[in-house]
Amino acid sequence: MALNFPNPVRRFDAGRSCVCFWGSDASLEIIFQVEFEALRKLGSGTGSGEAEILATFDQNRDTILTAAASAYAKHRNSYQRLTAAHF
């Protein structure tokens, strides 16, 4: 079974400077984090507030999920952190 993203939930994590989201590969849950800096790269002019960061994530969800799938295909780990280099 391929990686998919059935759960649209995403969570702002100020302590880790990222937005967390989840995917699944068969019965395995995969945790993804996308760094705030990566989101700022995707949405030029994005500030540091929670609403702005989450809005940028939502506006770029397809791009983020594509990068997540690519990262997972290279390293099939249950945890993936996406940086600006992934975009």
3-6 CB contacts, 8 Å cutoff, 24+ apart: 3/30, 3/68, 3/69, 3/72, 3/73, 5/65, 5/68
What are the pLDDT tens digits along the chain (87 aa)?
Answer: 689 999 999 999 999 999 999 999 988 999 999 999 999 999 877 788 999 999 999 999 999 999 999 999 999 999 999 999 999
Cα 79 from Cα 33, distance rounded (Å): 8
Domain of residue 66, residue span = 3-86
Is residue 52 within 8 Å of 60, Cβ to Cβ?
Answer: no
CATH number at residue 47: 3.30.160.140
**Structural domains in the chain (count):** 1
pLDDT at 48: 82
**Are residues 77 and 71 in contact, defined by beta-carbon separation less than 8 angstroms?**
no
Tokens encoding 66? 């594509």
Q: What is the pLDDT of residue 17?
A: 96
3, containing H or E segment: strand 3-4
